[in-house]
Every structure is written in C-alpha cells, then in structure tokens.
Amino acid sequence: MKTVNTFAGDLRLVGGRLGLDFVNTVNDHALPQPRDHWRDYGLFLIWAQHAGAATPAQLEAAARAAAADPAAAQATLELARHARRALYGVF
C-alpha cells in the first residue's frame, strides 16, 4: 500500500518549479474528495516555508496577521486554493 504524506512541511518537492510544487499540495485531484495538505492557514504557511516560497520575516508577519484577523487568513487560504485549482487546469 502506498504511504501518503499528510504534513505540509514534509511534502516532497519534486515538481522542479514552485508552481508545480504548489499544485502538488493536493493528492488525487480527480477524486471527489482530494487530499488537501493545506487543511488550514497554518499548514499553508508551513508549506510556504518548506518550499522556500516566502522569507522567514514574511512568514512571521503572515502568522501575526492571521492571529489578528483569522477571517482574513481563511480568505487568503481560499484564494490560494482557487489559484491552485486554476493552475492544475493548466498543467
């Protein structure tokens, strides 16, 4: 049986490009309920750190902003998910 990593900070970065690794944060896109490694905004930030998508200072500022305004953090996560779906359609 295939083991699937479920922690955003440990995902294998095999796409060779940030955009491909971004799309690869969902397993089994074709399933009705694909496995999303960004189950919350905190995991999204962990993945961004792991993938080198943001500087430590940017990530720290984002975490502070999320703590101050959880609704805005959730909206940001939804925008990232929307962008990811759009990119998946391209690849």
> In this structure, what token pair is assigned to residue 62?
């984002």
Is 70 exceeded by the pLDDT of residue 45? yes
pLDDT band at 5 (very low <50, low <70, confident <90, very high): very low
β-strand partners of 35? 27
Residue whose structure tokens are 């919350």: 40
pTM across the whole model: 0.79
Report d(CA 13, CA 83) in Å as an integer.
18
